[in-house]
């Protein structure tokens, strides 16, 4: 069995920044998994794709499979451009896709980006659809990143991701635990767009205004935050449970909403960190560059927050899906039941293309 894999990991998160593409060398050495992100790039979404993806959940039924195929071709084209511009030799593509539906309580999740289209476009083997098996086994289908946190970033007590949704992973005894804490950039970026900005640069907008205590109190008591054990969030919950509260204050300045949302995000992260007495935490994701948010988290916890290189901050999730793809083709478990709440640890991911030389 191969000991070194050259993998392209592809990730599109709920914050809608764009498509993260990372070319990684992943290898097994001295009984440990190791990695190197050789080159990586984020392809920003143009306005057409951003609207298409954000509105797909409410389109006519036939639009979904059409977009699934077209988006797969689009990802394949981006990957081809990436490979050509960096003169890369690639063994495997591992693509998360873009989540359109995530309703584990009703037994389904859907990440578009047809793996067969990606494979046909690039001529390379593809692993995708990482979440469906876990849902079928009664799990949340998320978070999946903790397997990589344990095997690639095990020197940290916990890993905190400040992406579209804030999530955390850590070890309790000999078991890995992880869950979605609450919304993060998915809500901050939307408020920023109301102010005609793509995002709140370094948290300057939030830092410029006062927190509204009435809005903050309403957000803090949302029932989701009281759920113990495996739990995950999707855009549906944010649209149905979170935004109606924010929009119930139509006369509040957008800057005050931004300040209040940043405080709320920091409060919920602090609750999770303090409850589990976490001390040494690796922090990644776009929210890491929000100095105001990081400052609020530090203010409300005693934890040491370590911010790594920009490559890991920006592309850790793409890296880990590349790693999950490697585990999949090696027929090794890449989903933990202690994290997702499924019936058992298992192997997730659908295969497209020719894997003869890799398996």
CB atoms within 10 A of CB 279: 13
Helix 185-194 / helix 254-275 crossing angle, nearest 10 deg: 170
Residue carrying structure tokens 């071709």: 73
By the 8 A CB rule, do 312 and 336 touch?
no
By the 8 A CB rule, do 100 and 57 touch?
yes
pLDDT tens digits, one per residue of 5-20: 999 999 998 888 899 9
Of 331, 353, 311, give the one whose Cα is nearest residue 35.
311
Q: What is the mean pLDDT of the chain?
A: 95
How many C-alpha atoms does 14 have within 13 Å on its Cβ side? 29
pLDDT tens digits, one per residue of 99-123: 999 999 999 999 999 999 999 999 9
Of 148, 83, 121, 90, give the one whose Cα is nearest residue 318.
148
DSSP 200-229: -GGGHHHHTS---HHHHHHHHT-GGGG--S
Q: Which two tokens stand for residue 174?
A: 């000999």
Q: Which two tokens stand for residue 320?
A: 């880990």
If you average pLDDT over residues 173-189, what whole number do you get?
93
In angstroms, the CA 142 to CA 224 distance is: 15
In angstroms, the CA 337 to CA 64 distance is: 30
Residue 157 DSSP label = S
pLDDT at 355: 87
pLDDT at 357: 77
In angstroms, the CA 255 to CA 197 distance is: 12
Residue 45 DSSP label = P
H or E element in which residue 109 lies: strand 108-112
pTM confidence score:
0.93
pLDDT tens digits, one per residue of 125-139: 999 999 999 999 999
In angstroms, the CA 200 to CA 206 distance is: 8
If you average pLDDT over residues 234-249, what whole number do you get?
95
| Diameter of the chain measured on Cα atoms | 62
Q: Compute the radius of gyration of the chain from its Cα atoms.
A: 20
Q: How many residues does the chain have?
A: 359
pLDDT > 90? residue 200: yes
DSSP 74-85: HHHHHHHHHHHH
Residue carrying structure tokens 């997702």: 340
Beta-carbon contacts of 157 under 8 Å, excluding residues fewer than 6 positions away, are 170, 171, 278, 279, 280, 281
Domains and CATH numbers, the chain: 4-143+316-352 (3.30.420.40), 147-311 (3.30.420.40)
pLDDT at 31: 87
Q: Which residue has the higher pLDDT, 172 or 217?
A: 217
pLDDT tens digits, one per residue of 42-67: 999 999 999 999 999 999 999 999 99
pLDDT at 55: 94
Please state the separation of Cα 256 from the chain's center in Å: 27
pLDDT tens digits, one per residue of 87-100: 999 999 999 999 99
């Amino acid at each position: 069995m191969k000991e070194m894999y050259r993998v392209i990991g592809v990730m599109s998160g709920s914050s809608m920044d764009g498509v993260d593409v990372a070319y990684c060398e992943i290898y097994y050495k001295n009984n440990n998994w190791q990695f190197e992100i050789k080159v990586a790039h984020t392809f920003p979404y143009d306005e057409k794709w951003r609207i298409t993806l954000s509105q797909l959940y409410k389109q006519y039924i036939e639009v979904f499979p059409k977009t699934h195929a077209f988006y797969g071709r689009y990802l394949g084209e981006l990957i081809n451009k990436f490979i050509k511009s960096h003169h890369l030799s690639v063994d495997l593509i591992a693509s998360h896709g873009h989540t359109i539906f995530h309703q584990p309580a009703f037994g389904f999740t859907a990440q578009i980006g047809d793996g067969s289209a990606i494979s046909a476009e690039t001529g390379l083997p593809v692993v995708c659809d990482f979440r469906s098996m876990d849902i079928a086994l009664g799990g949340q289908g998320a978070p999946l990143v903790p397997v990589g946190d344990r095997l690639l970033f095990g020197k940290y007590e916990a890993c905190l991701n400040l992406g579209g949704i804030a999530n955390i992973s850590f070890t309790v005894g000999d078991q890995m635990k992880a869950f979605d804490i609450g919304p993060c950039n998915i809500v901050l970026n939307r408020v920023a767009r109301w102010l005609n900005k793509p995002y709140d640069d370094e948290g300057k907008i939030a830092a410029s205004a006062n927190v509204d205590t009435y809005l903050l109190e309403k957000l803090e008591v949302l029932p989701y935050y009281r759920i113990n054990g495996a739990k995950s969030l999707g855009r549906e919950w944010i649209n149905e449970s979170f935004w109606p509260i924010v929009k119930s204050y139509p006369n509040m300045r957008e800057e005050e909403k931004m300040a209040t949302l940043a405080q709320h995000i920091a409060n919920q992260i602090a609750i999770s960190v303090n409850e589990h007495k976490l001390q040494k935490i690796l922090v990644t994701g776009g929210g890491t560059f929000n100095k105001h948010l990081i400052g609020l988290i530090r203010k409300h916890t005693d934890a040491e927050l370590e911010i790594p290189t920009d490559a890991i901050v920006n592309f850790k999730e793409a890296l880990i899906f590349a790693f999950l793809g490697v585990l999949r083709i090696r027929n090794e478990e890449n989903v933990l039941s202690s994290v997702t709440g499924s019936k058992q640890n298992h192997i997730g991911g659908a295969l497209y293309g020719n894997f003869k030389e890799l398996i």
